[in-house]
Amino acid sequence: MASWRRILGGAAAALTAAAMGTVLQAAPAGASPASGDGIVSPSVVGGSQAAQGEFPFMVRLSMGCGGALYSPTIVLTAAHCVSRTGTNTSITATMGVVDLNSSSKITRKSNYVYRAPGYNGSGKDWALIRLSSPVTGLATLPIATNTTYDTGTFTVAGWGAAREGGAQQRYLLKATVPFVDDATCNSSAMYDGEVIPSDEICAGLVQGGVDTCQGDSGGPMFRRDAANAWIQVGIVSWGEGCARPNKPGVYTQVSYFASAIQSAASSLGG
């Protein structure tokens, strides 16, 4: 399943450039997919540009992933975006802007990474990155602690590719995707039993056309709660290609791991 992950492992340098603010143009029409088997990772396909300040909790990570500001010192992302638990000062987090080239962007270096215990490439796809100093003036994104909000229509956002095999984006894109129930997502027409019902949640259109894509890994899937505030229900994890018919995005089901995430964040001082 590793080849389905929504990160461009072979293009890490380009992704780092994007996160550090270098302008990356969209790939020309007809560009080939990133991997030889045609299976690539996620960015937002079929989306539109987010407004400045619309999603202040969004984070771009220098290894080519996304994330969400869980607390002023903690970023929640995907386990497959990081290599291990331990001291790590190599990751740069960029926040506070839609345009990665903006002079108003906020950046922080990492000082520690916590990867979900037992992660082996299938399920348990979450991780925490502790920042070297707190971020002030930006809203954080609360996580769902039960399944109340695990259905309905969700919002996804990221700086990943706007089409399968495309380049990373300079501007944050957003889209909405509907929930797909476990039985449908695991049917022979879709993922044929590959999805882990307890760990993962599917979202996307049966006809395709809207999805996360390569470079969106680790970013949040979120919706409004009963108080009309944003709440995170998923983490961009994997999918077959981007926005293909009958291949919705597969996301880490945050509510299932909420207590473990909260406990780990607390241990990191967040």
Catalytic (active-site) positions: 80, 125, 217
The neighbouring-strand residues paired with 49 are 173
| Burial (CB count <10 Å: 0-12, 13-18, 19+), residue 201 | buried
Q: With contact defined as beta carbons under 8 Å apart, do 206 and 200 qualify?
A: no
**How many Cα atoms occupy the beta-carbon half-sphere of 147 within 13 Å?**
8
What distances in angstroms separate CA 23 from CA 98, 146, 192, 202, one per listed residue? 13, 40, 39, 32
